[in-house]
Amino acid sequence: MFDERDRAILDFEREWWQHPGAKEDAIRQTFGLSPARYYQVLGKLMDSEAALAYDPMLVKRLQRVREDRRSSRQKRVNPDSPEKN
């Protein structure tokens, strides 16, 4: 289910850099969530069709960043494995 909190999280991700202070502090103040829980929720949102329909550019960018991080992490863990394409 895509609700008001989901929209607020995506809106926050689009413009979090405008909030004063650290992102983690803004997450706590805005949503009352720990950063770990926020990123769990965001991760699920990034895979939802509703989020993609709501803000396709943001969701695609977040998915690319996530995939780049996974790829970098995989290279660090197993540097001798061939890269997947």
pLDDT grade, residue 75 (50/70/90)?
confident
Tokens, residue 70? 């996974």
Contact 39, 16 (CB under 8 A): no
Q: Is pTM, for the whole model, over 0.85? A: no
Q: Which two tokens stand for residue 74?
A: 């995989």
pLDDT given for residue 16 in this prediction: 87
Q: Are 9 and 38 in contact (CB under 8 A)?
A: yes
Residue 20 has pLDDT above 80, yes or no: no
pLDDT of residue 25: 92
